[in-house]
Structure 1
Amino acid sequence: MEFRVDRRSGVATYLQLVTQVKQALRLGVLEPGDRLPTAREVVAATAINPNTVLKAYRELEREGLVEPRPGAGTFVRRSLSRPEAAADSPLGLALADWMAQARAAGLEREDVTALIAAVVDDSFNAPGPPPGPPSERTPRE
């Protein structure tokens, strides 16, 4: 696993690491028993403070996602993945198709992120059960 740190994001660096590990757990990139990079490896790759890496790993440990093994490293305890969320699942493939359409339409990363965030917010804030496929929804008025 390789970490990416965006110093301009406004998000604390340790939270960026936590989020990236959780994303890898959700997508099945990391699985129980996998070893996370050592703090030294992360520092070498990202030029961040070792204490920042250790803080992120402690947070993941507090959440029960990883466990430190003295002298061996930090290992994944449990997964967050769901088969429906895998990149090669029907939903993942449909999203990849949608992404290709968005790029072809000229949308930039920030445009896509904003659009997805708005749709996710609308979907999870709407009362009642989750909506069905578009063909089953009633048009908005």
Structure 2
Amino acid sequence: MTHHNWKNKLSKDEYRICRLGGTEHPFTGVLLNEEREGEYVCKCCEATLFKSETKYDTGCGWPSFYDQAEAENVGFREDDSHGMHRVEIYCKRCDAHLGHVFPDGPQPTGQRYCVNSVSLSFNPAGEKQIKG
């Protein structure tokens, strides 16, 4: 999909974060305090990225997970922007920016996938999804 098409499909914030690699302000994301069972999918292409059973409260201000749902859907690349060395996570299906992963999470993985709420949609377990 071209940048023009993404601009038509996504809100201004969704486009800035998902397509341009931006970040939402901490403690502002709508999914930060989501506690229902379900799955978190890519806002842009609906690829399954994370499951509720791996979500945990880190106090960092963004939804955090200790593991990805499907390894083939989450990619990693070095990110040296803003004077920091980090590892960016992105959707391998559509290249949407998700956030970053850090090696300070709980076991069994020791990873903290720190994700922008804007990059995700939440599908509650047991509820039929309607695609529009």
What is the TM-score normalised by the length of structure 2?
Answer: 0.21
Higher relative contact order (CA 8 A, sep 6+): 2
Decide which structure has greater helix share. Answer: 1
> When you count strand as a share of all residues, which structure comes out higher?
2
Q: Which has the larger radius of gyration?
A: 1
